Amino acid sequence: MEQRINEFIETRRAGGLLRSLCDVEPTAGAKVLIGGKEYVNLSSNDYLSIASHPDIVNAMQGAGVPASASSRLMTGTRKEHSLLEEKVAAFKGKEAALIFNSGYQANIGIISALCSRGTAVYCDKLSHASIIDGIKLSGAKMFRFKHNDMDHLEDLLSSGRGNYKNALIITETVFSMDGDTPDLKRITELKDRFDCMLMLDEAHATGIFGKNGSGWAEEADISASVDVLMGTFSKALGGFGAYAATSSSVREYLINTCRSFIYSTSLPVNIVLADSAGLDVVFSEPERRKELLLNSAYMRERLIEKGFRPLGGSQIIPIVVPDNKTTLRLSADLRKKGYWVTAVRPPTVPAGESRIRISLNYDHKRRDIDAFIEALAEVSGDQQW
């Protein structure tokens, strides 16, 4: 066993694929202190820059008795959990909601509760690991359609849907590593035509898109057609944990079958209050998401002017670089210039598609964006990606 472990580490190191942890201390203005040096942080999912908002910090610190010491079905449900679920349901325009301890737990639990051996699950090729793991855990037959390719999804449904009693389509509304969005109207048409359930992962869209900031389902006006709207509190909402907004009957079914929900201690009340405060900030400070999206469009335009080819259409702005070592080199050179931009490599993204993933936050202002693009152009030399 030990030999296998050491070989694995050496192979990853040799391929420029070994990952490691470092201690990070957030400072004001979307910056971080790492190893005693301050960097502009372009790798945080605190998109609205509200993790340090006084309302959220006060909620996090003021609850008094944080530990719940029990699962939700035992004695771990406090009125704060129930109130947050009502608030999420209203925010998402659904009948009911259920809170989970993390997005990972939500996806593996919900998918494996809804699906089983006789189910067909249709998911995007670039789906988050938690979606893939949930499908594997369920034992369902997995069909992966090409990234955001609705024609391919239609082909797969036309040729195979008839062989299965039940089917689920699942995709993300803003892809975590690509920053792009599928054609949601088309997905709902396919869902209806082929009689499937539809689940959307709004982890990176919640708080940012839609008239009220509830996500892409709201923006595309399709919430009523989605059976399960999953999302997290841990990104734009500045908190921690996750939720599924759904019908009352699916909520009841999940409470009775979803193992990652049933067999885990419930979120501490201070986190629940912080999550609720995060939702309030989304309601009360809509200018954050508006400015963030304007700045994201500005950054993308400026990058294109400089000859770069950024992906996506959101606050996530990835630039694909041909190989792992160049990605690492770019990331290291940007650090020397005071920018923390993580190099994302396989297996998080497909082989040959390593990238620097720029994650824009509300606290990044236009002067920061301009200065970063100059730095990126300098470390890229005459190569553009």
Ligand X SMILES: Cc1ncc(COP(=O)(O)O)c(C=O)c1O
Cβ proximity to ligand X, 277 vs 375, nearer residue: 277
Q: Does 44 bind ligand X (CB under 6 A)?
A: no
- The reply on whether position 270 binds ligand X by CB under 6 A is no
Q: Is 204 a catalytic residue?
A: yes
Residue nearest to ligand X (CB): 103
**206 touches ligand X by CB under 6 A:** no
176 is catalytic: yes
153 versus 203: smaller Cβ distance to ligand X:
203
Give min distance, CB of 349 to ligand X, in A. 12
Q: Does the footprint of ligand X cover residue 203 (CB under 6 A)?
A: yes
Residues in the interface with ligand X (CB under 6 A) total 14
Site for ligand X in 223-242 (CB under 6 A): 232, 234, 242
- Verify binding: residue 176, ligand X, rule CB under 6 A: yes
Let me know: does 345 contact 12? Beta carbons within 8 Å: no
59 binding ligand X? (CB under 6 A): no
Question: Which position among 235, 266, 276, 296 bears the catalytic label?
Answer: 235
Q: Does 130 bind ligand X (CB under 6 A)?
A: yes
Please indicate whether residue 141 is annotated as part of the active site.
Answer: no
Asked whether position 103 contacts ligand X by CB under 6 A, the answer is yes
Options 10-18, 96-104, 191-199, 327-335: segment touching ligand X (CB under 6 A) = 96-104
Among 92, 128, 289, 357, binds ligand X (CB under 6 A): 128
Active site residues per annotation: 176, 204, 235
Query: Which residues of this protein are in contact with ligand X, per CB under 6 A?
Result: 102-104, 107, 128, 130, 172, 176, 201, 203-204, 232, 234, 242
